[in-house]
Structure 1
């Protein structure tokens, strides 16, 4: 097998949560372009249908399956749909996450229900998704990829609940990697600032001018925000044979920040 062949995913079957928009959409399309059959999932069927249509238009295979990533029962049905449609499950991307109501908060000013919502979406959903995926992969093996965040590292002013949940997800990733080795590899990818819809809502960067102003304040060495495709490329690597000796790691894709 040549080096470039190791990045191919022909014959693999992937599930991507939070795949209706932004980073999740790019991940799903990237996996399909690498050869995988992809089950795209989020809570909004119309978004999923559009992503699946794009994949089909490019000659790929996709199934749009609406599910709530914070519901274990719905994640079970999602995994079952993947196996029923494509015959197996070999890649699972826990991408669903973010700040549920788009409101950053100081830890000391966060209501219990808001804290619980952050943990449910950014940590518990990752744990449940990994359990469901591992049960379907079993001895046949596969790859689980958790989408973390640069916010998992260091203090996060007005973003404490999110940062804490993502840091815990990194810890979960390390432990799962040991528990599931050698058949199943588990890794995380931590994006830096990427102006998705949720990012713009949280940061108040709804215009190009506001985004450029924030970019100057952040100080990213590479001089630009990330693109969803930057994360998709990292996911393809982590899902492919090219990373067959990589597990328990968190790859920071942040432009040097």
Structure 2
């Protein structure tokens, strides 16, 4: 049956930035599809809360702390996943930031803020893919890079974020070519989602109205609405999909 193709039973999925927002929703969605999920974050308490929710729902999870911008931290993560769970079959690179010192017109962007965004959003995804290479190639794995509509179009006053997400789209395509046919690599590009990262936007009436004017579905997404596309890309339902960008943006990029 077609629905069986979404079953992730027996697979191990690592989700970076899995302690809140989109990452937590994806972690819970993968667990619901049968995967053993390893959510990661820099905060042990936050990531353990995700695992508690997975286990409360009858799934299996392992909480791990990691700094995705640090080579040794990332390599240690995948060493532990290999030792304790036999390796990772799915890697979801979701960890991302867009701090205040990286926002604004070019003359107002702090160069250190620029570097920090690139380190987490782009370098972190590359380091995780690099460290997971042997895991993924062992049985044929899947990588899902969580980008943004900001990886497909320009967004004003978000130069580092947009640059990092465009880079993530590019790396997705290059990895897909290098790793085919054994490993599939795809990109998920959400639009505006109601999370703590967009809290300032949802609370500003003018900004919110401008975003909704650009969004045909006329609302922000709930994080759970991004989990379904992620499960699809991770699963055998997308077995002939690689090097692609799947938008879940309420129609933003259709304009």
Q: TM-score, normalised by structure 2?
A: 0.94
Aligned residue number for residue 187 of structure 1: 186
Write out aligned runs for 1:87-126 (5 A).
87-101=86-100, 104-126=103-125
Q: Which moved more, 1:78-87 or 1:32-41?
A: 78-87
How much does 1:102 deviate? 6.8
Aligned residue number for residue 243 of structure 1: 238
For residues 66 and 172 of structure 2, the distance between their equivalents in structure 1, rounded to whole angstroms, comes to: 22
Equivalent residue in structure 2 for 1:255, among 243, 250, 255: 250
Please list the CA deviations of residues 137-189 of structure 1 after superposition, one character each: whole Å capped at 9, or x if unmatched: 22321001100011122222111111011001100100000001111100010
2:213 corresponds to 1:214: no
For residues 97 and 192 of structure 1, the distance between their equivalents in structure 2, rounded to whole angstroms, comes to: 14
Identify if the C-alpha distance between structure 1 residues 94 and 102 changes in structure 2 by more than 3 Å, giving closer, same or farther.
Answer: farther
2:152 corresponds to 1:147: no
Aligned residue number for residue 15 of structure 1: 14
Structure 2: which 5+ residue stretches go unaligned?
none
Q: Cα RMSD over matched residues?
A: 1.4
How much does 1:133 deviate? 1.6
Q: How many residues align?
A: 250
2:127 match: secondary structure: helix
How much does 1:101 deviate? 4.5
For residues 143 and 108 of structure 1, the distance between their equivalents in structure 2, rounded to whole angstroms, comes to: 40
Q: TM-score, normalised by structure 1?
A: 0.93
For residues 73 and 100 of structure 1, the distance between their equivalents in structure 2, rounded to whole angstroms, comes to: 24
Write out aligned runs for 1:24-43 (5 A).
24-43=23-42
For residues 168 and 146 of structure 2, the distance between their equivalents in structure 1, rounded to whole angstroms, comes to: 9
For residues 95 and 29 of structure 1, the distance between their equivalents in structure 2, rounded to whole angstroms, comes to: 14
Identify if the C-alpha distance between structure 1 residues 28 and 102 changes in structure 2 by more than 3 Å, giving closer, same or farther.
Answer: farther
How much does 1:28 deviate? 0.4
Structure 1: which 5+ residue stretches go unaligned?
none
How much does 1:72 deviate? 1.4
